[in-house]
Structures are given as structure tokens and as C-alpha cells.
Amino acid sequence: GENVEQHPSTLSVQEGDSAVIKCTYSDSASNYFPWYKQELGKRPQLIIDIRSNVGEKKDQRIAVTLNKTAKHFSLHITETQPEDSAVYFCAAGPSTDSWGKLQFGAGTQVVVTP
């Protein structure tokens, strides 16, 4: 099955700087790569996603890049703000065995200091 590794586990950045989180996946059949932001005690929120027919996607301060050959994808946050502080999860899928399962990375705790 799919295996997703996510790095780093924690990331501290100063307000205004950029943050980059990287994920690798193992299943070459995966074709959907979402990123979720989860604040403490809250639900994971889909912030951006990318499909395998696209190499890069941008939405304001957030961008995701995908390298299918190397099987890795990254989240880029520019001009970070304190409200960007949260845990970010990458995911890959869907699983080919059934029903669109996603495999999640372990998460990255991002702390933006003013």
C-alpha cells in the first residue's frame, strides 16, 4: 500500500519568511495530493490540492509542487503570518484497492513567531 513520509516534523519561522514542507510517497499509482491544515482541537481543513497531471498549483500565499518522477510533493507558504501556525498534513491517494482512501503523512507543526 501507499506510504507517505513528511518532513520536517516541526518548523519554526519568523513572520514574513517562507515555510516549506516536503512529502514523499511510494505508490506510483497515486494521483491526488491534498494538503490539510489542522488547528488544535479542530478539524483538518483542505487548503490546497494537486492532481498528477499538474506540476504546480498556487493559491495566494500557498503553493504546491509535484514531481511524479521522484514521487515527492511540497507545500510552500510565503509571507507567513501568525495565523498560519498549525499542524499541516500531506496526503496521497487514492488507494487503488477501494473507495478513494488517502494515506496521510505524520504532520508538521508550524510555528510562526511575530
Partner 1 sequence: GAVVSQHPSRVICKSGTSVKIECRSLDFQATTMFWYRQFPKQSLMLMATSNEGSKATYEQGVEKDKFLINHASLTLSTLTVTSAHPEDSSFYICSASISVGEQYFGPGTRLTVT
- Closest distance to partner 1 from the beta carbon of 94 (Å): 4
Q: Give yes or no for residue 78 binding partner 1 (CB under 8 A).
A: no
Q: Give yes or no for residue 58 binding partner 1 (CB under 8 A).
A: no
Distance CA 89, CA 23 (A): 9
Distance CA 10, CA 21 (A): 10
Cα dihedral across residues 62, 2, 45, 17: positive or negative: negative
Q: Which is nearer to partner 1, 46 or 54 (CB)?
A: 46
Number of CB atoms found within 10 A of residue 56's CB: 13
Of residues 16-55, which lie at the interface with partner 1 (CB under 8 A)?
A: 31-32, 34, 36, 41-46, 49
Binding residues (CB under 8 A) for partner 1: these are 31-32, 34, 36, 41-46, 49, 89, 93-94, 98-102, 104-107, 109
